[in-house]
Amino acid sequence: MKQEYRKISRPEEGEYAPYAIAYISLVPDDNVLQHLQQNAAAVKEMIKALPEEMLNKGYAPGKWTLKEVLVHIIDTERVFAYRAMCISRNDKTLFPGYEQDDYVRFANANERSIENIMAEYESVRASSIAMLNSLSDDMLLRSGTANNAKVSVRGIAYQIAGHELHHLSIIKERYLK
């Protein structure tokens, strides 16, 4: 049975931090949840086709390995989805930023098996999609503050998808050439 996903209209300026437009603009239309599902399938196929030694290398000295990029995508999605859930519930907490380099450094991604990483990736993605798909229009429009910027729930949904598309592009351009 094919999953039906609600359409979520593109966020307007003021519903995301200025830097996030670089991610949001990568999402081609208002089928953001469908794109999240399709991106997950594309990532799974791409990773499955790579030899293990490629997963533990950066594209240049000092750059993240592919395992570290994947765990970064997971961590970022988890942080953003938590913010979206809280804001959708009208939580007025001021959400701090997070230091991605510290998260990567302390995640021990290179010591994990790719099967373990991908199981976490698939679980986080399924959880994000289910949560976002359950929200009412009013909940998607609610806004809060994250990393000192006003953000809406729908802005966060697009940022999750666009952030992954950004990293997929880097992987294709720099790791797989």
DSSP assignment, residue 4?
Answer: P
List the structure tokens of 21.
């437009």
CB atoms within 10 A of CB 72: 19
Closest-CA residue to 137 (of 3, 4, 5, 9): 9
Domain ranges of the chain: 21-175
Q: Average pLDDT in the 32-40 region? A: 96
What's the CATH fold of domain 21-175? Four Helix Bundle (Hemerythrin (Met), subunit A) (1.20.120)
DSSP assignment, residue 21?
Answer: H
Closest-CA residue to 33 (of 81, 104, 71): 81
- In this prediction, residue 98 carries a pLDDT of 93
User: Is residue 60 scored above 90 in pLDDT?
Assistant: yes
Q: Where residue 3 falls among pLDDT bands split at 50, 70, 90?
A: confident
Residue by residue, what is the 3-state secondary structure of 29-55? Answer: CCCHHHHHHHHHHHHHHHHHCCCHHHH
Termini Cα distance of the chain? 37
Largest CA distance in the chain: 47
Q: Where residue 1 falls among pLDDT bands split at 50, 70, 90?
A: low
pTM of structure:
0.96
